[in-house]
Amino acid sequence: MTTLRVRFPYNEWPGWDLPECSLTCVQLPNTPDPARKLVTANVDKEALSDYYSDSPVFRATLVDPSRKVNVVLKFAFREDLIPSLAEEACAYVGALKSLQGKTVPVCYGMYAGTRQDGRMIACLVLEHWGQCLRQPFRRLPLNLK
């Protein structure tokens, strides 16, 4: 199993008390078992959303032994939010698999674990593809969809 070590810029974020966490790759339906390795994600200090949120989104650099990749980390810091994140991950490895890297970002997997306080957390790792939407997708003009 792959382990994802996420390093947060906790000393840059007032009130943030989580310097890092280690998460294990979640085996999603119809995907091969990931190879055993340690991958580190260094979170940028410029958050893409409110870092106090229960489902924050962060830009990060994913570092594995052979390369560095710019990614987006979508977190679920509450157990009741994890099923929605898992559903999104399943869409990437299912219906969107052939579109990854062409029409939608590449999905590098879903990871889960527990914080020091025992609460479950999960993280979906996606290829970084530009800026976050500032409004719901359904409200975007047709030329931007």
Q: What is the pLDDT of residues 32-72, one digit of tens each?
A: 555 667 889 999 998 767 878 899 999 999 887 778 889 99
Q: What is the pLDDT of residue 1?
A: 63
Identify the domain containing residue 130 by its residue range: 2-144
Instruction: Look up the CATH number of the domain holding residue 110.
Output: 3.30.200.20
Rounded to two decimals, the pTM is: 0.84
Number of domains within the chain: 1
Residue 100: in which H helix or E strand, if any? none
Taking CA atoms, 111 is separated from 72, 133, 136, 142, in Å, by 13, 24, 26, 34
Cα dihedral 123, 44, 101, 63 sign: negative
Structure confidence by residue, pLDDT tens digits, 126-144: 999 876 667 777 887 887 6
How far is 138 from 6, CA to CA, in rounded Å? Answer: 32
Taking CA atoms, 23 is separated from 1, 36, 111, in Å, by 10, 13, 5
Rg (CA), the chain: 15
